[in-house]
Amino acid sequence: SKTPVRVAVTGAAGQIGYSLLFRIASGEMLGKDQPVILQLLDLPQAQKACQGVIMELDDCAFPLLAGVFATDDPDTAFKDADICLLVGARPRGPGMERSELLNVNGAIFTVQGKSIAEHAKEGVKVLVVGNPANTNAYIARQAAIKVGRTNPANYHGMLRLDHNRALSMVAAKAGRPVDSLRKMAVWGNHSPTMYADYRFCTVDGQSVKSMINDEAWNNDVFQPAVAKRGAAIIEARGLSSAASAANAAVCHIRDWVLGTDDWVTMGVPSDGSYGIPEGIIFGFPCECKNGSYKIVQGLEIDAYSQEKLNKTLKELQDEAEAVKSLL
C-alpha cells in the first residue's frame, strides 16, 4: 500500500476545518487509495476543540486515515508535511482597520511560512485559505524564500471558491449542466475586485458567451453576483461560507496533485504572465499535470478585461505595500 501523505491543516478547530478534515480523511482530496496523516494546528485555546474533532474523526473509522494529531506549535504541525492548508487566520474584529488586519495576519503568516520552509518536505504544496488569502500567501512565500529549501512556486492563495461560484452561475444562465462547462477563468485577488472571465467558456466545444448572448448580463448581473457572493452567504447564514470553502480547497489540491483536463483558477505567484509583476499572488487560469501547474498563456485581454485586471492588481500591490515592513 502507498506511503501516507502528511497533510497539515491550520485553523483546524474552525468552521472550514470541520468540513475540510472529514473530506480529506475520506479520500476525496488525494484519491481513494491514498492514506493520509492529518497534522492539526490551532491556537492554545482551541486545543480542546481540536481533540473533539479528532474524536469525531476516530468515530468515522476512515480506512485511509493513518494518523492524526493536534498541536499549537507550527514547527510540530508542519514537520515533514507534504501539503499545508493554511486556513487559520485572524478575522476582522469590530472597528479594525484594514491595515491592522493585514498586519496581524502578516505576523501569523511570516511565522508559518518560515516554519514550513524549515520543517516541511522540500516539495511541499501550500494553499492559503485564510483571508486576505492572496496577501497572506505572498507573506508566507516571502518568508519561505528567505529560508530556501522549498519551491517558491508552491505557495498558493485560494481563488477556487470564486471559480466554482462563477461556473455554477454561468451554467445556470446557459441552462447547461455545470460539468459540461470548460475554460472558466477568475483573475486577481480573492476579493470583490476579482474578475470572473467567462469569455473563453465552452460547452461541447461551443462558445458559452454567444450561447448566452447578453452583453449587459455580464456587467450588471454576473460580475456583482460573484463579487458579492461571500457577503450574501454571511447575510443568509449568519456565518461565512465554510463547506463551499472547504470544497474549493479540496478541488484546488486534488487538481494540483492529480491533474486536470480543464482550466482551473489558482492564486499563484506571477512569473510575469499578462504583465502581472513577478511574485504577486494572482488568480490565473492554470492547467495541472504530474503534480505541477502552468499558467494558461496567450489569452486575449481586451480593453474591458485589462481595466478589470488593472484594478485587482492595484489592490494587491497596495496590500503588498501595507505589509512591506514585515518582510
Residues annotated as catalytic are 190
User: Contact 153/205 with Cβ under 8 angstroms?
Assistant: no
Q: Does residue 16 have a known ligand-binding role?
A: yes
Does 129 bind ligand NAI (CB under 6 A)? Our answer is yes
Give the 3-state secondary structure of 16-54. HHHHHHHHHHCCCCCCCCCCEEEEEECCHHHHHHHHHHH
Dihedral pair phi/psi, residue 185, rounded to 5°: -140, 135
Please list every residue from 20 through 79 that binds ligand NAI, using CB under 6 A: 41-43, 46
Query: Which contiguous run of DSSP H or E holds residue 205?
Result: none
319, 178, 305, 190: which is closest to 327 by C-alpha?
319
The 3-state DSSP composition of the chain as helix, strand, coil percent (nearest 5) reads 50, 20, 30
**Which lies closer to ligand NAI via its Cβ, residue 107 or residue 327?**
107
Residue 28 CB coordination number (10 Å): 16
Does 90 bind ligand NAI (CB under 6 A)? Our answer is yes
The footprint of ligand NAI on this chain (CB under 6 A) covers a number of residues equal to 28
**Which lies closer to ligand NAI via its Cβ, residue 17 or residue 113?**
17
Does 281 bind ligand NAI (CB under 6 A)? Our answer is no
Q: Does residue 223 have a known ligand-binding role?
A: no
**Which lies closer to ligand NAI via its Cβ, residue 102 or residue 174?**
102
Binds ligand NAI by CB under 6 A, chosen from 127, 133, 144, 194: 133
Does 113 bind ligand NAI (CB under 6 A)? Our answer is no
Cell of 87: 486556513
Alpha carbons 185 and 248: distance in angstroms, whole number: 15
**Which lies closer to ligand NAI via its Cβ, residue 10 or residue 218?**
10
Binds ligand NAI by CB under 6 A, chosen from 4, 15, 176, 279: 15
Torsion angle defined by CA atoms of residues 316, 137, 297 and 164, in that order, rounded to the nearest 10 degrees: -90
**Nearest residue to ligand NAI, scored by beta-carbon proximity:** 14
Residue 134 CB coordination number (10 Å): 29
Q: Does residue 17 have a known ligand-binding role?
A: yes
Burial class from Cβ neighbours inside 10 Å (0-12, 13-18, 19+) for residue 127 reads buried
Burial 223-259 (b: 16+ CB within 10 A, else e): bebbbebbeebeeeeeeebbebbbbbbbbbbbbbbee
Binds ligand NAI by CB under 6 A, chosen from 8, 14, 53, 315: 14
Q: Does residue 34 have a known ligand-binding role?
A: no
Q: Report how far Cα 246 is from the mean position of its chain's Cα atoms.
A: 9
Alpha carbons 178 and 199: distance in angstroms, whole number: 16
Binds ligand NAI by CB under 6 A, chosen from 110, 131, 154, 270: 131
98-119 helix and 133-147 helix, angle to the nearest 10 degrees:
40
Does 81 bind ligand NAI (CB under 6 A)? Our answer is no
Does 158 bind ligand NAI (CB under 6 A)? Our answer is yes
- Per the listing, cell 497596495 goes with 318
Does 245 bind ligand NAI (CB under 6 A)? Our answer is yes
**Which lies closer to ligand NAI via its Cβ, residue 124 or residue 266?**
266
Does 285 bind ligand NAI (CB under 6 A)? Our answer is no
> From the CB of 161, what's the least distance to ligand NAI, in Å?
4
> From the CB of 297, what's the least distance to ligand NAI, in Å?
25
Does 10 bind ligand NAI (CB under 6 A)? Our answer is yes
> From the CB of 137, what's the least distance to ligand NAI, in Å?
10
Annotated binding site: 11-17, 92, 98, 105, 112, 129-131, 165
Q: Which residues bind ligand NAI (CB under 6 A)?
A: 10-11, 13-17, 41-43, 46, 87-91, 108, 129-131, 133, 158, 161, 190, 240-242, 245
